[in-house]
Structure 1
Amino acid sequence: MILSALLTSVAINLGLCLLFFTLYSILRKQPGNITVYVPRLVAEGKVKEGGQFNLERLLPTAGWVRKAWEPSEEDFLSNSGLDAFVFMRIFIFSLKVFTFGGIIGMFVLLPINYMGSQLSDDSEFQYKSLDSFSISNVNNGSNRLWIHFSAAYVFTGVVCYLLYYEYGYIASKRIACFYSSEPQPHQFTLLVRGIPVPPGSTCSDTVERFFLEYHPSTYLSHSVVRRSSKLQNLITDADKLYKKLTHLKQKSDPPKRQRREGCLGLYGRKVDILDHYERRLGDIEDNVRMEQSSAAAKEVPAAFVSFKTRFGAATALNIQESVNPTEWITEQAPEPQDVYWPFFSVSFIKRWISKLVVFVACTSLTVLFLIPVAIVQGLTHLDQLETWFPFLKGILRLSVVSQVITGYLPSLILQLFLSFVPPIMIMLSSLQGYISWSQIQKSACTKVLWFTIWNIFFANVLSGSALYRVNVFLDPKEIPRILAEAVPSQASFFIAYVVTSGWTAIASELFRLTQLIYNFVSRIFCRNGDDNFEPPSLPYHSEIPRIRLFGLLGVTYFILAPLILPFLLIYFCLGYIIFRNQLLKVYVPRYETGGQFWPTVHHSTIFSLILMHVIAIGLFGLKKLPLASLLTLPLPILTLLFNEYCQKRFLPIFKDYPAECLIKKDRADQNDHNMSEFYDKMADAYNDPALNPIKYSERPDSHTSPLLA
């Protein structure tokens, strides 16, 4: 790619970003869009629809930036939770890393690369290939390569220091949040799977006998899991219908209650929608009651078991309960609202098989995704396109067309295909028998991260430079050399990818185009379009892998093509302020993992450093500087030793709270007079919501007695 093509891509995406920012600053002030741009504040009752028209609402302003910047770190933590806090620390960590890397890269490495003559590019500046700004342009055997060697060591040291600091800082925040928290049911509760129920007994009786015998001083209560998957849709329908009914009753304009029965109210006879909804709600209640009666008897060999102390729960969690390790399997219970009741798989064998099936499915998806990658790489090479489509030769040789195709279109197409991956990974993770949304999202986050690294980075690198070599992974000695040949040649593609998929994607996150269109359509065709309004939660499983991919690109291309660094810095600056705004106004915390996404960030950063070292070893060999290759060998070893130390020092804190913290917290609770009331509530905390009695309608014959004692 030539410099002018990159500038074309930058201009297009910069224009889109400015357009999104301008439209956002106007549309966010419109009363009809409050459920799009401030749904969290609406749900919390801090913002209400209405207000008189004034000219200021039509003028773009940047006041949202100041409001997003104002809250202190502690205010943000108390408002959005530790998971959101950790998410923002990813941006802070990345900004620190690439600010330092950008200074070294742009003011030291880039001039050295440009002054080289290995590629002998004599074209005018705007038509120069981006390879002229990469290490590929440095002459073979040049002593200037020792500067790149030194930069690799210095950069690795700084990144490791920042990683250590962040790991320790977030671990301290995790402990501090634990100490400051009120007693929570999940701190005292375990999920027990694989309960061996003897003939003639019930699961509930078996659980009670077992824990009264082996944990008599700490056992408190239990709640047996029951199969209720068929109830989920009925309960969801009832909730939606009840929200619509409540909204209609709050309206004072009777004509709006008249509506046609057909789809979107476009056809069918007119009915009083209020009476219509009440009849439907009553019918759903009857169906729910019948299904609850049958589901109440369908016990599953699993139960949520609660203890009197946190330490008692931790003791039961960390020891093997049975001689048979496939029975009485314990794991930490999630928060009650975080439990994922559908697909509640408890069989050890079924979970093992499901993991195998999901692994095969992920592998197949990874292989199939190579098709769009090949299409994208074809667009970056105009000579291939002319071979495939000779009738387009005249059009492709036009300067503007070629610049748009090579600089903008490939990244856009790849991003469109990639948008389908996170929902698929969520679906696959939900089939693995995880008990909570947080576990599903953490699993999907890991899947999406490695899928992204393989298909966006390695697949593009190994297919885009005519290196269709299957034996790259069969001979480990060849990996550094092949990567050293392939990775620098794809620098221009990844610079354009950062601009296209980074800048525009982060700006569209602020603009929320999809939600805006849905809101507009629903307000036109469904006058009660905000009945089903529910504030969203941040999709960590898709956002964290995207951020870490850009982090990998920055670390990998630090010494190869430092021109990418300023574009990454712009992305992380935009991401920091935009996501602070979204977390304060849009996204509501759905669960709290205590910052358990950070180890994934740490591991991906270590992987990025190792990849940079491997490429540097091969690159110095290609550049006829074998001594530099030899002296680079300790770098990955030292980095892995540092990672091992962090694993021992910090990772256990993210898995379980230490006994010191648990006992201190338990002792503090002994002086709390509300603990007896808390214990009473905890007995019902993990009852399946689908089995709770419901009463939405006002019918006098509605049954409301509880199903279970």
Structure 2
Amino acid sequence: MDIAALLTSAGINIAVCVVLFTLYSILRKQPSNVNVYFGRRLASRRSKSRDLCLDRFVPSPTWVMKAWETTQEEMLTTGGLDAVVFSRMVVFSIRVFSVAAIICTILVLPVNYYGQDRIHKNIPFESLEVFTIENVKEGSQWLWAHCLALYIITLTACTLLYSEYKSITNLRLVHITSSQPNPSHFAIVVRGIPWSSEQSYCETVKKFFSFYHPTTYLSHQVVYKSGVVEKLKESAAAFVFFKSRYDALTVSQSLQTSNPMLWVTELAPEPQDVYWPNLCIPYKQLWIRKLFTFAASVTFVLVFLIPVTFAQGLTQLEKLEKMFPFLTGMLQKKFVIQLVTGYLPSVILVLFLYAVPPVVMLFSTMEGCISRSERKKSACSKVLYFTIWNVFFVNVFAGSVISQLAVFSSLTELPAQLAKAVPAQATYFTTYVLSSGWASLAFEIMQLFPLFCNLFQRFILGYNEDTMNGDLTFPYHTEVPRILLFGFLGFTCSILAPLILPFLLFYFVLAYLVYRNQLWPIAHNTTVISLLVAQVIALGVFGIKEAPIASGFTIPLLICTVLFHQYCRERFLPVFKNNATQVLIDMDRRDERCGKMEQIYELVNSAYCQFSGSTQSECFSSHQGERELDRTPKDMETGKENRQEDISWPPVLHSFDKPVIGGK
């Protein structure tokens, strides 16, 4: 691939972005699209009718300024902590890759370009390989520049990682202590309740916690299975409420009986975050479900090798001509060559990757997650690993000399094999950033699916604005992996193919404008893994290029990165996994001094209403006693539909001028 093919891909994606951003600036001004681009909460406050004026049909960049001027405090208020953490991921990427782009452009790129004694062509007709480390001669003394750049990038990344981890940890603690009393802090979920022929689950729960936790137990609410019968039958799960936050934390973390499969306790999710269908799953089934999900995920990865290999094959014109001889004449044309090698492979892979998040979300649901946030966090991790494996490693293996090897002779040869393969595929990753990065942001801000749904509901089904649902959720399980994947590509290719960095930096700046939890540990881990992979590849490259000094200096860098990661795990990660006892006790005593505890108890007893269509009196609590709820089949079907609706835990966050809904 040459520079002209890369510029062709960039030109196509720039044109797509300009068109979609222009359409967005017009469509967001139309009253009929208020629910799509601003959410129902703001839509209800805005005027339902506007006078017809020319300004509504003229593109304007005002949304860019609004996005840029939005403060972190405003994001925290409207979008919750998750929205703030997501934006900090983007800001971190901008900072670290700004440094990487400057260092590699000044220090590494000239070394790569003049690494061989050769006559250079005009820049547009130069092959991209001359800008990579492949163009540096073996034994060159200039390889120290790559080692120095790797040190600077690693030190910059670790410094910023530590600063962000510390800042977000403090922000999380402040957010918890300053928030209104949360019912989930006083509640635990109990599963694996033993069945008894002599008494109901409700009586069993009350008897157990009244006996073993008599001074701290407050009340409980049994989870019910809903069906098409008129009366509900109970399931072996319940919410149990305690008199203080500390009591709930202590019980949730302790083993209740000698049988770990019975009376299993954990902290309860927030009321609006509960995924009710999975609460009815017997606890003993969960390990089987996880095994099945793991097997299904592995099968899905293997099946996905087919489109990845096909997309990678498009970059090799010789193979295409042999497989499809009738295309020989067409593949000789200059523009077709630039289009096929520079644009189509990444576009095809991106289209296939759109099928991944829904499938992975199904897998996470089948695992039995009891909260919507836990389900999306699980899906986020799965999508991240899936995309890194298929976009990076499979492409490297399929499009390089590694594809010709049956197995690695030993693990020690892995750095050398990656060192041969990754530079050869670095140009493909550059075009992938263009197609999957720039274009995806343009489609994200356009919100095509909600836009079409809005048009269909309004003009086909005849819904009015009051009956239309505008509370959309932000797809963290698709956008977080994309951000982290590009960071992975940036770190691994920074000193190998520096040309990727300007395109990557532009993507993160654009993402900062388009986008505005515990999600941060995922970002931290992925960044550290990216640094380690980059260092391992550099170690192999320096070995191939016969630069023993550079290889020797890379080994301490690997060790220090691992030690840094372990320190951060010990210093910050526990705060994200559990609430601190000191913090909870201080909050309990503060509420006791203010006389709020009785009010909190009333809130806790009525917070977890399983059937969203029912009244407060229909929510089950032990202080109301055990009783059957008479409901018609129609009522139960309505309740079932409402429970399965995706409540906005991850807030809506499609652009800065769109207020987000929900959030923690």
TM-score in terms of structure 1 length: 0.85
Partner of 1:223: 221
Cα distance 1:560–1:521, how it changes in 2: closer, same or farther (>3 A)? same
- In the TM superposition, residue 199 of structure 1 has moved relative to its aligned partner by 3.1
The whole-number CA distance in structure 1 between the counterparts of 2:310 and 2:421 is 18
- Does 2:7 correspond to 1:7? yes
- Percent of aligned pairs with the same residue? 46
Amino acid at match of 1:382: L
Q: In structure 1, what is the Cα distance between the partners aligned to 2:382 and 2:408?
A: 21
Mind listing any 5+ residue stretches in structure 2 that lack a counterpart? 618-626, 632-664
User: What is aligned with 1:162?
Assistant: 160
Q: Check the 8 A contact 1:311/1:662 in 2, yes or no.
A: yes
Once the two structures are superposed, what CA deviation does each residue of 1:276-331 show, in whole Å capped at 9, x if it has no partner?
Answer: xxxxxxxxxxxxxx64x322xx2111111111100001111122111111111111
Which residue of the partner structure matches residue 171 of structure 1?
169
Structure 2 letter corresponding to 1:560: L
Give the equivalent residue in structure 2 for 1:488: 423
Three-state SS of the structure 2 residue aligned to 1:527 is coil
Among candidates 596, 615, 626, match of residue 537 of structure 2: 615
The residue number in structure 2 matching 1:337 is 272
Deviation at 1:629, TM superposition (A): 1.6
Which residue, out of 470, 484, 492, partners 1:534?
470
Q: Which residue is equivalent to 1:253?
A: none
The equivalent residue for 2:18 is 18
Aligned-pair distance for 1:53?
A: 0.8
2: distance between equivalents of 1:390 and 1:560?
35
The letter for the 1-side match of 2:32 is G
Q: Secondary structure at the match of 2:220?
A: strand
Q: Displacement of 1:342 after TM fit?
A: 1.5
Distance 1:504 1:573, change over 3 A: same
- Give the aligned residue type for 2:107: V
Q: Aligned runs of 1:385-464 on 2, under 5 Å?
A: 385-464=320-399
- Cα 1:472–1:180 change in 2 (3 A) is farther
Instruction: Check 1:600–1:537 CA distance in 2 against 1; reply closer, same or farther (3 A cut).
Output: same
The within-5 A match list for 1:547-696 is 547-580=483-516, 595-689=517-611, 692=614
Q: Deviations over 1:367-406 (max 9, x none)?
A: 0000001110111111111011001100011000110111
Residue 14 (structure 1) shift: 0.7
CA gap of 1:19–1:227, structure 2 versus 1, over 3 A, is same
Distance 1:571 1:473 in 2: 36
Q: Is the 8 A contact 1:193 1:346 kept in 2?
A: no
- 1:449 alignment partner AA: L
Distance 1:625 1:345, change over 3 A: farther
Listed one character per residue, the Cα deviations across residues 208-250 of structure 1 (whole Å, up to 9, x for unaligned) are 122122222211111111112x4xxxxxxxxxxxxxxxxxxxx
Change (3 A) 1:77 1:121: farther
In structure 2, the residue matched to 1:146 is 144
Looking at structure 2, the residues matched to 161 and 113 of structure 1 have their Cα atoms a distance apart, in angstroms, of 28
Does structure 2 retain, via aligned residues, the 8 Å contact 1:691–1:707? no
What does residue 59 of structure 2 align with?
60
Q: 1:197, CA displacement in angstroms?
A: 3.1
Which moved further from structure 2: 305-314 or 677-686? Answer: 677-686
User: 1:345/1:463 Cα in 2 relative to 1: closer, same or farther (>3 Å)?
Assistant: farther
Q: How does 1:183-194 map to 2 (within 5 A)?
A: 183-194=181-192
Matched with 1:99 is 98
- Equivalence for 1:133: 131
Paired residue type of 2:154? T
Task: Tell me how far apart the structure 1 counterparts of residues 167 and 85 of structure 2 sit (CA, whole Å).
Answer: 10
Aligned equivalent of 2:650: none
Unaligned runs of 5+ in 1: 231-289, 581-594, 696-704
CA distance in 1: counterparts of 2:405 and 2:188, whole angstroms: 47
Report the residue type matching 2:399 in the other structure.
G
Q: Within the alignment, does 1:479 sit opposite 2:414 as a pair?
A: yes
Superposition RMSD in Å: 2.0
2:600 corresponds to 1:707: no
Query: Aligned pairs, how many?
Result: 621
* Equivalent pair of 1:42/1:48 in contact (CA under 8 Å): no
Q: 1:513 to 1:348 in 2, by over 3 A?
A: closer
Q: What residue in structure 2 maps to residue 244 of structure 1? A: none
The residue that corresponds to 2:211 in the other structure is 213
Deviation at 1:46, TM superposition (A): 2.8
1:294 to 222, 225, 231: 231
Shift of 1:450: 0.2
Secondary structure of the corresponding residue to residue 299 of structure 1: strand
TM-score by length of 2: 0.90
Q: Say whether the 8 Å CA contact 2:4–2:124 is kept in structure 1.
A: yes
- 3-state SS of paired residue (1:99): helix
Distance 1:663 1:669 in 2: 10
Instruction: Map Cα deviations across residues 640-666 of structure 1 (whole Å, 9 max, x no partner).
Output: 111111111000000111111011101
Alpha carbons of 1:99 and 1:220: their partners in 2 closer, same or farther (altered >3 Å)? same
Q: CA deviation at 1:684?
A: 2.6
What is the alpha-carbon distance in structure 2 between the residues aligned to residue 520 and residue 662 of structure 1? Answer: 48
1:360-371 correspondence to structure 2 within 5 Å: 360-371=295-306
SS in 2 for 1:294: coil
Q: Which residue number in structure 2 is paired with residue 73 of structure 1?
A: 72
8 Å contact from structure 1 (residues 192, 304) kept in 2: yes
Q: 1 CA distance for matches of 2:119 and 2:534?
A: 26
The alpha carbon displacement at 1:528 in A equals 1.8
Question: What is the rounded CA distance, in whole Å, between the counterparts of 2:125 and 2:464 in structure 1?
Answer: 52
Q: CA deviation at 1:335?
A: 0.6
